[in-house]
Amino acid sequence: MKKVAFICVHNSCRSQIAEALGKHLGKGIFESYSAGTETKPEINQDAVRLMKEIYNIDMEKEQYSKLYKDIPTPDILISMGCNVSCPVLDKKFYDNWQLEDPTGKSDEEFKKIISKIEENIKKLCIAIHYLEIKEKGIKIFNQFDDFISIYAKENITDAWYDDGVIIAQEILQLFDDEDWKLLNKELNFKSILWKQRLAYCLGNENNLNEFETLLKLVDTYDEELFELVIDSLRFFKTEKTRGFIKNNPQIIDKVNKLISTSNIVRKKVFEEFLKYNS
């Protein structure tokens, strides 16, 4: 089982919450630890109080502020988000959650951070599950295909938007170049609804594989799929991606053709796309 360490400077608040929720939500999936490069005499008392109130978890029962060197060597490091003073460690961070420190703030602000940590822990559980599959040599695309196929049915649309899309996006983050090649090779054999689900998942402006897949999906007679693709393409605003779109004037032409007959929501999507790509 993988060891996950949640890191911030003082290991007194956010990282302690993450450790506790990791033990609570990630039991059987990963071992949860937290640490810092400095320590505090006690865990933040507002965090202790609210974790008891919300989850009935007593953080002081098993947890305390500790240094990175005092925990087992982790497989995965997560930074809580330390602004200008992030710890410098001997291992690369898997992710930076960029969470504001709620110390000294209202219960409402504290609860927002706790809720975000809970959401991130759930996503991490999914990512670790598929990461372990990948490490076994099983192609992640095949797992993604099976997952999307479950949701490519009209009668489970609500479940897709509630949970499915979040899991699908986590799986996509584990794709390597071979997985993207497989996906694009199989696109022509997929149903319109499968393609719609895929288009809704894409939009990471730092991932050119996602952008290139959207350019393949945009060539469609299905107006709903076309709208979803344009909606996702709005997030790609670099000079390189805008250049690709301008070199494909048929995309702009189709948006201009459909915009006059679109409803308010679709019109807004199209207008924002044209704002950055005309």
Residues in the chain, how many? Answer: 278
Long-range CB contacts (< 8 A, 24+ apart) of 249-253?
A: 251/218, 251/277, 252/277, 252/278
Set 8, 13, 125, 201: catalytic member? 8
Set 13, 82, 125, 201: catalytic member? 82
Q: What are the structure tokens assigned to 198, written together?
A: 């895929």
Number of helices (H), then strands (E), belonging to the chain: the values are: 14, 4
Catalytic, 82? Answer yes
Q: What are the structure tokens assigned to 51, written together?
A: 């974790």
What values do phi and psi take at 123, rounded to 5? -65, -40
C-alpha distances (whole Å) from 49 to each of 6, 53, 55 are: 20, 6, 10
Catalytic, 8? Answer yes
Instruction: Give the whole-angstrom CA distance, residue 27 versus residue 37.
Output: 26
Which positions are catalytic? 8, 82, 86
